[in-house]
């Protein structure tokens, strides 16, 4: 599953540079599929296609947030989720809405990094 940031976040920013997939963004900031990945365009579940460098609406305006579609729980890079490891208030937790197997997470990593 992906990791999510709860509303206990104190916006310290410690997690953002640790993410190997650039899946973490500051609240209110737009995000992109292409940031930190090799993606050039992405087909969404509804069949539409977006350019990877096209800015996307922030997931949260108040707190740092994780783009679930880019989070691999750090699989393929690290032993454990790095955001959770550095967060001083332990607010990076499992997201029950995004449950993925280890194989699925590794496939996501390969897809994003063109491996």
Residues 6+ apart with CB under 8 A from 66: 2, 3, 4, 5, 23, 24, 59, 83, 92, 95
**Rg of the chain over CA atoms, in angstroms?**
13
The minimum distance between CB 71 and ligand SF4, in angstroms, equals 3
Q: Which is nearer to ligand SF4, 5 or 39 (CB)?
A: 5
- Residue numbers of the site for ligand SF4 (CB under 6 A)? 3, 5, 9-15, 18-21, 23-24, 64, 66, 71-74, 81-83, 86-87, 89, 91-92
User: Which CB atom, from 13 or from 55, has the smaller least distance to ligand SF4?
Assistant: 13
């Amino acid at each position: 599953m992906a990791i999510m940031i709860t509303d206990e976040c104190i916006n310290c920013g410690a997690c953002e540079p640790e993410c190997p997939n650039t899946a973490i963004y500051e609240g209110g900031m737009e995000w992109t599929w292409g940031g930190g990945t090799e993606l050039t365009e992405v087909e969404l579940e509804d069949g539409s296609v977006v350019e990877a460098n096209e800015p996307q609406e922030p997931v949260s305006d108040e707190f740092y947030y994780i783009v679930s579609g880019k989070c691999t729980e750090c699989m393929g890079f690290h032993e454990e989720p790095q955001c959770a490891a550095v967060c001083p208030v332990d607010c990076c937790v499992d997201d029950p809405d995004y449950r993925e197997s280890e194989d699925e997470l590794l496939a996501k990593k390969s897809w994003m990094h063109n491996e």
